[in-house]
Amino acid sequence: MFCHLRPWRRFCLEKILPHWFHYSRALSGAEAVNALRPFYFAVHPDFFGQHPREREINENSLKRLSVYLENLQKPGFKSLKPTPLTFYVRETDQNPSDGQEPFSSPGFRAVKFTLHTRDLLSTVLYILNSCSLSVEHIQSMNTNVHSQPLKEAKRMSDRPIKWDRSYYSFTGFKDPDEDLEQVSRIETTLTSWLDNNGKSAVKKLKNSLPLRKELDRLKEDLSNLLQLSDIRWQRSWGIAHRCSQLHSLGRLAQQNLETLQKAKGCTIIFTDRSGMSAVGHVMLGTMDVHHHWTKLFERLPSYFDLQRRLVLLEDQISSLLGGIQVVYIEELQPVLTLEEYYSLLNVFYSRLLKSRAPFHPRSLRGLQMILNSDRYAPSLHELGHFNIPVLCDPANLQWFIHTKVQQARENMKRKEELKVIENELIQASTKKFSLEKLYKEPSISSIQMVDCCKRLLEQSLPYLHGMHLCVSHFYSVMQDGDLCIPWNWKNGEAMK
């Protein structure tokens, strides 16, 4: 019926895609990574040490991109859910001539796009084009079959392209390998970094003190007015930004107090989108207007009803799996809304009901599991909880859990012991260096924090007096004076 449209469709594709795209074979996973090197170089979190918010956004987006690329390579996949991503892209051309808009922040710009491609090659091209990065190098990779007929094309090596240094000298392009090697080679030591940045941090912290007091006051007033359990922020926004968000919520409370008081007993989190989180926190999207926030508070009773059904569903899953507790760990799982998490639980529960895999009642009490939508095989985390894929075969799940029960209990016991040691070391470090506050990023494990604090206690670090110290993966001075140091900091001579 629609045969007459085929020539037109082919014409459109030829206009949109490069001429070599039509003669290219499927891209392998290693080749995709190699093709995306300019992109990774432009968005790598290591280069955003002085911009913690942008660094965190890039880290989270890279994780989601990695999952998307992995799913594309899994045999038998049918379709993928569109994945919206945001990256901050570094400026690598000092004299851009492509007519792009000016950078919104010094040295980088924000890029948003949604992945909906169905193969690796089109995904790579879409990412590079979305970030205004060149795709010409893909022609030189082994994915290209020359514009000659396929039977005349020579088979190219599967080795990644490694350009000679003379290529970069002649063209003026930056060598990604050289820059990354330089970052890893020139390793900053803790004492030298504090010597160079301590005074700047002290000045920023001093300037932020009035705003910090204002933030505490606003948070306490709103918590009492709305009878909230807590007010938190998902990202490392600055103190001024947080105060602005609280002022905005305060104005809304003055206009519609009765509606906002429906959140009594809840925790409010300022984040990227509005809704209710998987653990029942009220999420206020910082880009949403008051109208959206008001609608959310009005819908809270229906969310509370869904939350009760979710808890019941968790209990039903637990009874089918020998009493193992289903938990959602915010630090280790993607940010899900209540509806998204309920859907995952419901799919998993339906599969369990059909299989009726025999678990002895209460045999797994005291153990924990989390559900994952991006895994195909179960695993045991070092903290003692099981990572269970939603689509895991129940028979394989039963065998895996039974073989790992003892190790899981040992890991959970070790986790509790580590938590006690961690808290003791945090208190000791806070006292020794007269810190105002010592905390860590959610991605830092107890083992890493314990190792960091033990080595800190062996040092003499006068710059830390009265400071806010955050244990992270990078060195940075945040805009309000917080010092961020990597948990595996080095001291003495710089190491290669």
pLDDT digits (tens, 9 = 90+) for 464-476: 999 999 998 878 8
Measured over the CA atoms of residue 254, residue 259, residue 265 and residue 266, the dihedral's sign is negative
| Distance in angstroms (rounded) separating the CA atoms of residues 136 and 431 | 57
Between residues 9 and 269, the one the model is more confident about: 269
| Distance in angstroms (rounded) separating the CA atoms of residues 400 and 136 | 47
Instruction: Report in angstroms the alpha-carbon separations of 253 from 5, 33, 47, 248, 275.
Output: 57, 49, 40, 9, 18
Residue 80 has pLDDT above 80, yes or no: no
The whole-number pLDDT of residue 4 equals 47
| Distance in angstroms (rounded) separating the CA atoms of residues 384 and 409 | 7
The whole-number pLDDT of residue 204 equals 92
- Give tens-digit pLDDT for 476-489: 888 899 998 999 99
Q: Are strands 386-389 and 368-372 parallel, antiparallel or unpaired?
A: parallel
Structure tokens at 302: 């229906």
Q: pLDDT grade, residue 157 (50/70/90)?
A: very low
Instruction: Report in angstroms the alpha-carbon separations of 121 from 126, 355, 469.
Output: 9, 39, 43
**Nearest in space to 272 (alpha carbons), one of 339, 334, 224:** 334
Residue 96 has pLDDT above 60, yes or no: no
| Distance in angstroms (rounded) separating the CA atoms of residues 363 and 365 | 6
Instruction: Report in angstroms the alpha-carbon separations of 154 from 143, 148, 316.
Output: 12, 10, 60
The whole-number pLDDT of residue 369 equals 93
Nearby residues of 388 by Cβ (< 8 Å), 6 or more positions away? 348, 369, 370, 371, 372, 378, 397
pTM for the model? 0.62
The whole-number pLDDT of residue 324 equals 93
Q: pLDDT grade, residue 361 (50/70/90)?
A: confident
Share the mean pLDDT of the chain. Answer: 80
| C-alpha neighbours within 13 Å on the C-beta side of residue 197 | 23
Nearby residues of 410 by Cβ (< 8 Å), 6 or more positions away? 384
Residue 157 CB: number of other CB atoms within 10 A?
7
* E strand or H helix at 347: helix 338-355
Between residues 224 and 398, the one the model is more confident about: 224
